[in-house]
């Protein structure tokens, strides 16, 4: 029996490895394509090149950017700089080929032509593979079903959304999510020393997972960690912060304050639109990237204030929901989904890719509880339409006209699908606002 189980496990591991490799090949196939359409990847390429050529100490103050000055934390800038540094040493591949005929000449030719853009996209691509393994692990831990876990892995690996983000668009949202998910899982397991620096690393690549900070603080309080673990975790954060930031400035604190207030924060709010490019609550009724975020709702409340209030309310409800239940992994993942997708739907100034914080938790729940599957698929369809339109609308006139037809009816329908599917998803999970909020008040 032990021998049979051993071979079964080996077969399962082989299949997972095969799927992961196939997912990598699909992403590498798309990595060199659509570079002309992606203004972002050309922007990142400019940043990476300038960081190496003009040195990190001059990077953020460089005056002559082709597209826009860098507005992300230092850790992501370093990632792009490393990509250019590696590409600049591509001649080593030719030297290696001359010595041992490996790698083949076709790979060298490919790398000379497309290598820089592939390297820029590689962190997101590799993170996709890691995320798929986390999805497998979490579904297996929640459902105890290997088949469901495998299907969840496949659903993410070959999902048009994840492939599009990492290998077509060249975004690093999967890398942020990988670090963020690991951080929350480590916190759930009581590994505070590991959790704290993982969350900081996620935020210091891009602060997208900042929407989960209230939830993280709540869980940290509930965990009641020992002071020594908190101090050790804080010291690791400080070490990461110092070592990655000191490269860019000798005055770390002043530089960090300037970067946050003058580059990062203004970028997040500069548009002042109800929706910049997200198919959310506001694009059901208003035009994307057109209506400002200070329009009065019902003639009384500015939309941005309504969005903040909604986000605060979502966090309060989630915290009450968790406080009334034993903290299980499934409920934690569900809380991440509610807050992540709630932020995307109700906050103003949202970009299309900000739904991604909820995308992975959604997939885990879909395959852990089959009755959620249909609503997850509907959200998947709507958000892919959102991403596809946002990416191609400036280069494909036919697509732009299609989504703008009948007073932007397709946009409104996909937006409504997102909103409606979100609430149906919550109801099918068994989440009740009355149970989670009103009954708590009665107890109080």
Compute the mean pLDDT over every residue in the chain, rounded to the nearest whole number.
Answer: 92
- The residue-averaged pLDDT of 225-248 equals 97
Dump the DSSP string for 34-45: STTT-HHHHHHH
pTM above 0.85, yes or no: yes
Predicted confidence at residue 8, as pLDDT, reads 66
pLDDT above 50 (res 180): yes
- The residue-averaged pLDDT of 381-389 equals 97
Question: What whole-number percentage of the chain has pLDDT above 90?
Answer: 82
Neighbours of 279 (CB within 10 A): 32
pLDDT above 80 (res 254): yes
pLDDT in tens, 329-368: 999 999 999 999 999 999 999 999 999 999 999 999 999 9
Cα 112 from Cα 384, distance rounded (Å): 32
pLDDT above 80 (res 55): yes
- Weakest mean pLDDT among 127-131, 292-296, 406-410: 292-296
- What would the two tokens of residue 114 be? 């497309």
Give the CA distances from residue 392 to residues 17, 19, 214, 399, in Å, rounded to whole numbers and listed in that order. 33, 29, 35, 7
pLDDT above 50 (res 412): yes
Predicted confidence at residue 434, as pLDDT, reads 56
pLDDT band at 99 (very low <50, low <70, confident <90, very high): confident
- What would the two tokens of residue 388 be? 């596809």
Give the CA distances from residue 40 to residues 33, 44, 68, 166, 397, in Å, rounded to whole numbers and listed in that order. 13, 6, 10, 12, 19
Dump the DSSP string for 74-128: HHHHHHHHHHHHHHHTTHHHHHHHHHH--S-HHHHHHHHHHHHHHHHHHHHHHHH
List all residues 6 or more positions away from 395 whose beta carbon is below 8 Å from its beta carbon.
Answer: 36, 37
Predicted confidence at residue 422, as pLDDT, reads 97
pLDDT in tens, 296-326: 987 789 999 999 999 999 999 999 999 988 8
Predicted confidence at residue 360, as pLDDT, reads 98
- Weakest mean pLDDT among 56-60, 159-163, 318-322, 432-436: 432-436
Cα 245 from Cα 2, distance rounded (Å): 52
Neighbours of 365 (CB within 10 A): 25
- Helices 329-346 and 105-143 pack at an angle, to 10 degrees, of 120
Task: Compare 5 and 195 and report the one with higher pLDDT.
Answer: 195
pLDDT in tens, 117-169: 999 999 999 999 999 999 999 999 999 999 999 999 999 999 999 999 999 99
Helix (H, G, I), strand (E, B) or coil at 249: coil
Domain positions in the chain are 38-263, 271-444
């Amino acid at each position: 029996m032990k021998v049979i189980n051993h071979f079964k496990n080996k077969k399962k591991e082989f299949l997972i490895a095969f799927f992961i490799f196939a997912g990598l090949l699909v992403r590498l196939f798309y990595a060199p394509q659509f570079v002309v359409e992606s203004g972002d990847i050309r922007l990142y390429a400019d940043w990476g090149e300038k960081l190496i050529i003009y040195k990190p100490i001059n990077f953020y103050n460089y005056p002559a950017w082709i597209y826009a000055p860098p507005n992300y934390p230092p850790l992501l800038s370093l990632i792009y700089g490393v990509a250019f540094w590696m590409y600049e040493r591509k001649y080593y591949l030719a030297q290696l080929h001359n010595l041992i005929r490996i790698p083949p000449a076709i790979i060298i030719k490919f790398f000379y032509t497309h290598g820089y853009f592939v390297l820029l996209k590689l962190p997101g691509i590799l993170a996709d593979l890691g995320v798929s393994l986390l999805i497998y692990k979490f579904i297996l831990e929640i459902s105890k079903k290997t088949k469901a876990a495998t299907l969840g892995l496949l659903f993410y690996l070959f999902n048009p959304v994840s492939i599009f983000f990492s290998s077509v668009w060249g975004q690093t949202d999967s890398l942020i999510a990988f670090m963020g998910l690991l951080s929350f899982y480590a916190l759930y397991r009581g590994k505070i020393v590991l959790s704290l620096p993982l969350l900081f690393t996620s935020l210091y690549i891009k602060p997208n997972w900042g929407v989960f900070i209230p939830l993280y603080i709540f869980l940290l309080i509930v965990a009641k960690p020992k002071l020594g673990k908190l101090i050790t975790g804080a010291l690791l954060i400080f070490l990461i912060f110092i070592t990655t930031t000191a490269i860019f400035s000798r005055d770390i604190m002043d530089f960090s304050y300037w970067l946050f207030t003058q580059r990062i924060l203004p970028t997040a709010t500069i548009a002042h639109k109800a929706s910049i490019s997200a198919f959310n609550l506001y694009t059901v009724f208003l035009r994307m990237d057109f209506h400002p975020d200070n329009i009065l709702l019902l003639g009384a409340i500015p939309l941005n204030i309504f969005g903040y209030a909604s986000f605060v309310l979502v966090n309060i409800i989630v915290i009450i929901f968790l406080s009334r239940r034993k903290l299980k992994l499934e409920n934690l993942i569900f809380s991440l989904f509610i807050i992540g997708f709630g932020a995307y739907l109700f906050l103003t100034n949202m970009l299309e890719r900000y739904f991604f914080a909820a995308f992975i938790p959604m997939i885990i729940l879909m395959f852990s509880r089959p009755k959620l599957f249909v609503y997850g698929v509907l959200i998947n369809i709507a958000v892919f339409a959102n991403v596809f339109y946002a990416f191609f609308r400036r280069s494909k006139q036919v697509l732009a006209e299609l989504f703008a037809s009948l007073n932007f009816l397709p946009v409104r329908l996909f937006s409504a699908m997102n909103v409606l599917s979100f609430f149906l998803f919550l109801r099918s999970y068994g989440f009740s606002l009355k149970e989670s909020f009103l009954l708590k008040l009665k107890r109080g």
